[in-house]
Each structure stands twice: as C-alpha cells, then as structure tokens.
Amino acid sequence: MSRKKTRDFCKTASVIGYSQPMKYDFDRLIERRNTDSIKWTLYAEDVIPLWVADMDFPSAEPIVRALTDRARHGVFGYSLPPKALTLALIQRLKELYGWSVAEPEVIFLPGIVTGLNIAFQAYVERGEAVLAQPPVYFHFLRDPVQHGRVLIDPPLVRSKDSWEIDFDLFERSITPSTKLFVLCNPHNPVGRVFSRQELERIAEICLRHGLIICSDEIHCDLVFPPYRHIPIATLAPEIDDRTVTLMAPSKTYNIAGLGCGYAVIRNRRLRDRWKEASSGIVPHVNIMGHVAALAGLTEGQDWLDQVIEYLKGNRDFLYEYVGGKIPFMTMNRVEATYLAWLDCQKLGIVGNPAVFFRSEARVALSDGLEFGKPGEGFVRLNFACPRHVLSEALDRMKHALEKC
C-alpha cells in the first residue's frame, strides 16, 4: 500500500473506530490471478473485479492449518461427514438460535445452489409453481423455469434506502398450484435482515396456503450489529415442520471453492422426499470441505469477528464515498452480507450501468438485471476486499461518470 493510501486508511480507521487491534491483515492484497479464481480471471487484468460473492481475504489460519495437515496425510479416498462436524453444527444452531436439531435432520450438500434445485425437484411437480421475490439471487428465478416449474415473482418494493415485502401482493400472488416459497434471508442482493415480525407474517401466509418454505440463509453469519438473524424455522414448531433451511460455512469463512453446505430438515416426510430427489445425482461433500468447515466452526470465531468488523468499515467507507462523491447514485442500507446494492438510474448512463462501469471505469460489478426485472438500473458491488482496492475502484467509477 502506498504511503498516501496508508494515511487514508488510518484516517478512515480512526473515524470508524475499531474496538481492538486486528490480528489478521485484511489490507494485504493477495494475488489471485493464475489461481483458477473465477472472480479474477473472467475479465482482463486491468479490470478490478467486485462482482461474484467471494472475499479477497485469506481464510482463518486454523482452516489453512487443518487443510495442510490433511493434505500431508496423502490419501484422499471416499469420505463421509465426520461426526464431530455434525455435532459442531448442531451446537452452533443451539447456541446462536436456541434451535434443537438432531443428527439425522442435518443433510450435507456440495453447495446451496444444489440445495435449491433439490427443493424444486422434491416439492414441486412440473407445471406447479415456485414463489420468489425479486430482486433476488438469480438461481431463485431461473432454475425453477429451467426444470419445468412455473415462477411466480411478486417483487419486493422500494422503501427509502431499503426494500420491503408487499404482503398483500405476496398473498394475492399465491395460486392453487403454488407449492414452494423460496426465502432469501439475509437477502442477496438488497442486504436486508428480515425482522421477526416480517418472518412471522411470511410464515403465517405460507402456513395458511399450505406452502413449503425453502429458506436460503447462507449469509446468516455475516450480519452487522445491531441486526440479528432469525432462522424462520425457529419461529414455531408448525413452521419448523414445513421448512427446509439451507446454510453453509462457505460465505462465513471464505471457503466457497471447497463446496460444503447443509440442509436442516426436521420433518421426516420432507427429508425422505429430499433424499429421493437427490439420490444418484448429488455427490457427497469432498474431504477438504469437511475439514475446512470443522476447523472454521471450532476455531474460526476470532477470524470471523475481525472480518465482520473490517467489512463494516468497508461498508461505512462505501456509504460515505457514494453519498459524498457520486451524485445521484444511492446505496441500500446494508444490514448483512458484503454486497452493496447501488441504484444507478439517475446517473445519466446510456444503457446498462454494469457494462458502462466495466468498459469505462474498468470495474466489474454484477448486473442488476441478473436479479430480476426490479434490478434494472442497479449494480451489485462486492466490498469484501482490501480497502485500498475498494477506494481505487470507486475513484475509477467516479472519474468515468465525470467524463460521460
């Protein structure tokens, strides 16, 4: 980092007010090109990639150590999830949410997208409908249709610097053929952490209409104070009985490339249908995914606490920059995740803003249209990177807008 950027960072750190010295150096830029990184190899070398949702930070030292120790063993045959991993997950759910889950109710997955697609196959017949609320992660919208299911997509609605659920529209959209609602909480891309009251109303409507809930909660550990994540299944036993909850350590500990997630399914009938739909199609989680997940869950909390603090600093830096230096761009309130949802509709850009910033600023962002029609004119920015990289990207975007 240059002396100027070091001074800038120290000034920002002073404003943000870190509560303790950082053990991990999240300001260090690690070279990820030529490492098979999707994020860093999709675009030309002069493009700063702030699009796909992984962090540019090294994983926690205990995770790296555990993977290194396992690699030294030298034998990598077929594996099953270690009992210690299942017990660690169960203990975490109990400690964080007061949620008592039994071992058979945890089903490991090679990824959350896999879990979403199993849910579409297991609980919705061809020609029946899946309910989702754009703007939302594109697999919620594309995958049901690709598998011959009908998509019903009442949108979230803008509310100042956030997005809310129009509950009347939500309920009116349900038809007799609607079988499954897919919830994204914490929400990607709008950064919401839905309140208990909102979740209770969602649950009440779904119960009244006999819908199964598939709740993608992959970002549940990346929540900024004072917000608190509440798994929808924990609201009441009758909701738990109709809910499939998808979680993973992949976003939490930046180990997405190791492919380890899990579903919590309390209802035995739903669990049996899940297993039937995935039989012979869904592979087991690989050995290294197990190892990394266990190390993160048992030894990674210090790293997680510090990465959330650093991400909060990046979030606040981004707020201040957009609000003070990029007129007519607005940023959603980010309650969780490391993803910012930026409204570019009043910038005067001709065409797609993601294309504009990639070509004119050499910054790659996610196209808002990937998240459904309500995302038109928006971009999603991943701020899980060293702050000087984020600052450089924002400077490029600002200068590109000044020239257009």
Residue 3: pLDDT band by 50, 70, 90 thresholds?
very low
Residue 13: pLDDT band by 50, 70, 90 thresholds?
very low
Cα–Cα distance for residue pair 82/76, rounded to 1 Å: 14
Residue 6 has pLDDT above 70, yes or no: no
Q: Are 152 and 173 in contact (CB under 8 A)?
A: yes
Residue 95 in tokens: 């400690």
Cα–Cα distance for residue pair 175/303, rounded to 1 Å: 46
Residues 6+ apart with CB under 8 A from 314: 338, 383, 384, 385, 387, 390
Question: Rounded mean pLDDT of the chain?
Answer: 94
**In residues, how long is the chain?**
404
**Cα-flanking dihedrals φ and ψ of residue 107, to 5°?**
-120, 120
Radius of gyration of the chain (CA): 21
User: Averaged over 79-108, what is the pLDDT?
Assistant: 97
pLDDT tens digit sequence for 17-72: 445 567 899 999 999 999 999 999 999 999 999 999 999 999 999 999 999 999 99
Residue 113 has pLDDT above 70, yes or no: yes
- Of 162 and 2, which is predicted with more confidence? 162
What's the one-letter identity of residue 404?
Answer: C
Domains of the chain from N-terminus onward: 3-62+301-403 (3.90.1150.10), 76-299 (3.40.640.10)
User: Averaged over 59-88, what is the pLDDT?
Assistant: 97
Helical pair 138-146 and 112-123, crossing angle rounded to 10 deg: 40
CA distances from 158 to 135, 228, 354, 388 (A): 11, 22, 21, 31
Neighbours of 29 (CB within 10 A): 12
